[in-house]
Copies of this chain bind each other. A is one copy, B any other.
Amino acid sequence: MKRIAVVDTTFARVDMADDAVRALRSAGTGFRIQRRTVPGIKDLPVACRQAITEDGADLVMALGMPGRADYDRTCAHEASLGLQLAAVLEGRPIVECFVFESEADDPRALETLARRRAEEHALNAYALLFRPDDLRRRAGTGQRQGWADAGRLRPR
């Protein structure tokens, strides 16, 4: 029985964890889901490490939604580096799923983007743990999360 932790924030304006959990459950079985919620994205790295060391997670999804200001980009950068540190130190995947408010002007479009990205990252997370061959088959095929796939550069 594997353990997947889903860690999210109160700062985000969309409840992406719901979509991530639904997608994980739809993908298969063989794992238990654990939840942690922290205030903001800078609180994610240590919570992800705690999810691994205290809760025994085999993989963590880190969900966040940085705002529109320049400073939000700086915070996201710092959080991303913290996530890199936690993942490399523990040797366990931390799947970062960030949606920037600036990615869409229309609230409905932004919400749809956030939900889709959470779902697609959740399917990636499942594949990392249970179906590595699925990922390998799609190597170099221009997959995107939330937006339409870019596809191979030129079909062979």
Contact = CB atoms under 8 A, between A and B. Distances in A.
Interface of A: 8-18, 35-39, 42-43, 45-47, 49-50, 53-54, 65, 67, 71, 73-75, 77-96, 100, 107-108, 110-111, 114, 121, 124, 128, 132, 135-136, 138-145, 150-154
A142 B11 CA distance: 4
Contacts of A45: 84, 87-88
Nearest to A140: B15
How many chain copies does the complex carry? 5
B107 A47 contact: no
Contacts of A138: 10, 37
Nearest to A6: B139
